[in-house]
Amino acid sequence: MLKSFAKATSVISIAALVGAVLVAGTYQATRAQTAQNERNTLLRTLNQVMPADYYDNELLADKIDYPANTSHAASITVYRAWQQGQARGVALMTSALEGYNGRIQLLIGLDAQGTVLGVRVLSHQETPGLGDAIEHRRSDWITAFNGRSLENPSSTGWQVKRDGGIFDQFTGATITPRAVVRAVYHALQFYQQEKSTIFPES
């Protein structure tokens, strides 16, 4: 009886070990595929805010991370765009921290002079049918930033119309566009302040 018990225990142990190995292998394979999918999605979005003909370097590999501090409340990742060794622009990954339902992650493309090339929302938890109009696939509201800069409009214009600015708000959802406008403006200010450290060779 003891031998039978020992044998059964061994079989169970081996089965458990094999199961654990299979689970671990599946997890590793899935994690690698998930990471690759996320990388591909990010690159596609980067090319929406930083045209592919603007750069010849590996955009995802040429990045600088700036942790949140007193001058910028959200952490910022800077992807630098170069063409033939010349600075062409940046894509800034940052967040609007004051969305209606929390953080709104953004990708903001700027040319080397600090003019907006494009803005896209990477993730958010805003209310469907109201706040989700910040998504490019839902509306063209986000394209209103194209061509804008710190001087266009002036600082007072960098607000939604309800607050005296030039950007539209959404019916029943002013908080969301207000947060995005503020985040884009802060990103422009950040770039102006840090340009010499982002592109020290220029």
- pLDDT tens-digit profile of 159-177? 999 999 999 999 888 999 9
Residue 22 located in a structural domain: no
Residue 24, class by beta-carbon neighbours within 10 Å (0-12 exposed, 13-18 middle, 19+ buried)? exposed
Q: Which of 77, 81, 78, 144 is nearest to 116 (CA)?
A: 144
Domain holding 193, by residue range, is 52-198
Q: What is the pLDDT of residue 25?
A: 62
* Range in 5-14, 67-76, 100-109, 124-133 the model is least confident about: 5-14
| Number of structural domains the chain divides into | 1
Residue entry with tokens 């622009």: 89
CA end-to-end span of the chain: 81
Residue 43 located in a structural domain: no
Residue 177, preceding peptide bond in cis (omega within 30° of 0): no
Backbone angles phi, psi at 127, to 5 degrees: -65, 125
